[in-house]
């Protein structure tokens, strides 16, 4: 499994999940967890956002499919049911929250991946799906899903022993660092198993909000560095 903050390709993401991920919401895949694909980039199709310094994700549900001659998906209520009566992904996630709130099940576990540029993704961590509602947006109803970051980050135990969960790196900073470091580890030039690394660790007061304190490191050099200041 990927470590939180690990940079991966689309193919690596699909290989890990065992399916060809073609949609943003994927309820209960083979491993028993769900998967959400999100984007916080300017112009993203859905109004996803993060709160509480990255500990909470508010994810917007998905529109009806776009068909030639059909209605504009952005002018139609997001659907709970398919035309045949079965639940859409919105409906499946919504019902998972309802079961949790009724005390019938534990929160649905959701792996979150963030797209930072075409073909390049970052593993955001494992979240619990804890709430869902509908709200008006531009005169139509949309779904909102609330997810809370779990303590299971997927990081190797030796890496960043005092890992903080409130060290979210904004998408704009990730993009700036990726461009500056040319998609390579700054130590060895490697392109595989890359992570966004804090030069001054978050636990020692380093900022997540400026590109000057973030660099790309491969897994080997990230583990070797741990939380030392070089």
SS (H, E, C) the chain: CCCCCEEEEHHHHHHHHCCCCCCCEECCCCCCCEEEEECCCCCCCCCCEEEHHHCEEEEECCCCCCCCCCCCHHHCCCCCECCCCCECHHHHHHHHHHHHHCCCCCCEEEEEEEEEECCEEEEEEEEEEEEEEEEEECCEEEEEEEEEECCCCCCCCCCCCCCCCCCCCCHHHHHHHHHHCCCCCCCCCCCCCEEEEECCCHHHCCCCCCHHHEEEEEHHHHHHHCCCCC
- pLDDT tens, residue by residue, 154-191: 444 434 333 443 457 888 889 899 999 999 999 999 99
Residue pointed to by tokens 């809370």: 148
Q: What is the mean pLDDT of the chain?
A: 88
**Contacts within 8 Å (CB) and 24+ apart, 168-172:** 168/50, 168/53, 168/54, 168/208, 169/5, 169/196, 169/208, 169/214, 170/40, 170/208, 170/209, 171/39, 171/40, 171/41, 171/114, 171/116
Weakly modelled stretches of the chain, pLDDT under 70: 152-167, 226-230
pTM for the structure as a whole:
0.83
- pLDDT tens, residue by residue, 190-201: 998 899 988 888
- pLDDT tens, residue by residue, 125-142: 999 999 999 999 999 999
Residue 41: per-residue pLDDT: 85
Domains of the chain are 6-149 (2.30.280.10), 171-225 (no CATH)
Single out the residue of 69, 95, 65 nearest to residue 83, CA to CA: 65
């Amino acid at each position: 499994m990927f470590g939180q903050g690990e940079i991966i390709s689309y193919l690596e993401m699909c290989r890990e999940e065992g399916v060809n991920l073609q949609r943003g919401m994927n309820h209960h895949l083979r491993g028993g967890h769900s998967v959400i694909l999100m984007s916080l980039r300017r112009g993203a199709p859905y109004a996803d956002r993060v709160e509480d310094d990255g500990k909470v994700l508010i994810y917007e549900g998905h529109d009806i499919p776009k068909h030639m001659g059909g209605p504009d998906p952005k002018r139609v209520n997001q659907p709970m049911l398919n035309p045949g009566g079965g639940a859409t992904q919105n409906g499946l996630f919504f019902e998972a929250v309802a079961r949790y709130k009724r005390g019938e099940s534990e929160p649905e576990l959701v792996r979150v991946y963030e797209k930072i540029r075409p073909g390049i993704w970052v593993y955001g961590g494992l979240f619990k799906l804890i709430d869902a509602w509908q709200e008006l947006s531009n005169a139509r109803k949309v779904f909102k899903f609330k997810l809370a970051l779990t303590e299971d980050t997927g990081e190797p135990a030796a890496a960043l022993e005092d890992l903080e969960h409130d060290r979210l790196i904004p998408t704009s900073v990730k993009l700036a660092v990726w461009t500056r470091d040319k998609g390579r580890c700054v130590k060895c030039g490697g392109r595989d198993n890359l992570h966004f690394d804090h030069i001054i660790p978050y636990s020692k007061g380093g900022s997540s909000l400026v590109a000057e304190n973030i660099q790309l490191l491969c897994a080997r050099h990230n583990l070797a560095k741990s939380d030392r200041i070089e």
